Structure 1
Amino acid sequence: MQTENDGGTLRDRLIETGVALVDAKGAAALSLREIARGAGVSHGAPRRYFPTHLELLSAIARRGFTDLGARAKEAVHASEESPRARLAALSRVYLDFAADHRGMYELMFRHDVLESGTLGLRETSLPLFGMLVELVGSARPDVEPTVVAGALWANLHGVAQLWGWGSLQLAVGAADIEPLLASVLDAHLGPVA
């Protein structure tokens, strides 16, 4: 077992272990014991850096928000197309992240984690929402962009959850999420001219 005296590196290792664990086994696998075992330290070691289990979960979720935000920014900046095309790229990133990182996505939006006050929600999710608001404002200057962006985000989140559970595939008989994404964008931005 590695030493528990390596300060910030142990803190980072605990978070990285949690990120790997949530991706491999889902949010339910994130016990302090499992994270400590994965990091190669005693089960009490995480308490030195994270006084509560919720604080450790928040630190892990923060990594998810940071990763999702970076992917979204890259997709939006890589696209030199219309605001609608950039919104479509951001939306695909959101849906792909939810599909590829189910455990992390679930953890990021857990009510107790979001309300804990330790996640730093303003620093992690609001820049992503701000990007969404800006693109909606560019695509639809005739609407209140914050309200439409909120509705769009809620719609994307619902699609991500229902798709992840298999409910949408069953209900609409779809094997591809793209027609649903096109419908979501049409509903909030109007049909493509």
Structure 2
Amino acid sequence: MSDSLRTRLIDVGVDLVTSEGVHALTLREIARRAGVSHGAPRRYFPTHLELLSAIARRGFTELAARGSRAIEDSGLATTEPREQIAVLGRVYLDFALTNRGMHELMFRHDLLESNTLGLREASLPVFGLLVDLVGRARPDADARVVAGSLLANLYGIAQLWSWGSLQLATGADDFAPLLDAALAAHLGPEGR
């Protein structure tokens, strides 16, 4: 078995979670779609958690790349940290809402607790960037706490938006006002 099969199994898992959600991620289905026997994935991933962690790790890598690219493309890389945080917030919410299955998988507590394949470490680049930016935007506060609270707020917005709850409760048809409110709550009013 080669590394290309390992990569193919992860690719199939990413495609499957994207198209059908977390519930579809069985070893048997991934093997079937990869064109191998149902026991073949166990050669690279002895447990189901290991394969799920490898798939979730791909999600964190993609989210980090999108965030960095969006900041770079916006031309804000050397300007106001608040604006960069807003860009990251939009990227996060867009990712979560267009990749619901992957987003759910990435934050599964059993995967993060097991830290299989260094999944926790894979989640840190985006959070580290957020902590750095919050520290620059709010030098008066504990940046890790504020960034963690903001991330929890964004996660909640993503979940409630995907269920349709926030649209019903707020009458909003776009998450932008909610993102602005979250930024104001955690960073203070704009122009502060």
Deviation (angstroms), 1:22: 0.4
Counting aligned pairs with the same residue, the percent is: 67
| 2: CA distance, partners of 1:55 / 1:164 | 27
Corresponding residue for 2:13? 18
Corresponding residue for 1:45? 40
Deviation (angstroms), 1:164: 1.1
The one-letter code matched in structure 1 to 2:90 is: R
Aligned partner of residue 161 in structure 1, secondary structure: helix
Unmatched tracts of structure 1, length 5 or more: none
Corresponding residue for 2:184? 186
Deviation (angstroms), 1:123: 2.5
Aligned residues: 188
| 1: CA distance, partners of 2:45 / 2:120 | 20
| 1: CA distance, partners of 2:139 / 2:27 | 48
| Conserved? CA contact 1:69–1:124, under 8 Å | no
Instruction: Specify which of 61, 65, 68 is matched with residue 56 of structure 2.
Output: 61
| 2: CA distance, partners of 1:22 / 1:104 | 6
Unmatched tracts of structure 2, length 5 or more: none
| 1: CA distance, partners of 2:55 / 2:105 | 8
Corresponding residue for 1:105? 103
Superposed CA RMSD: 1.1
Deviation (angstroms), 1:133: 0.6
Aligned partner of residue 116 in structure 2, secondary structure: coil
Corresponding residue for 2:156? 158
| 1: CA distance, partners of 2:105 / 2:119 | 13
| 2: CA distance, partners of 1:126 / 1:92 | 18
The one-letter code matched in structure 1 to 2:11 is: E
Instruction: Specify which of 29, 46, 50 is matched with residue 24 of structure 2.
Output: 29
| Conserved? CA contact 2:56–2:119, under 8 Å | no
The one-letter code matched in structure 1 to 2:68 is: K
Corresponding residue for 2:175? 177
Instruction: Specify which of 114, 126, 129 is matched with residue 128 of structure 1.
Output: 126
| Conserved? CA contact 2:53–2:119, under 8 Å | no
Aligned partner of residue 120 in structure 1, secondary structure: helix
Deviation (angstroms), 1:35: 0.3
Q: Taking structure 1 as the reference length, what is the TM-score of the superposition?
A: 0.94
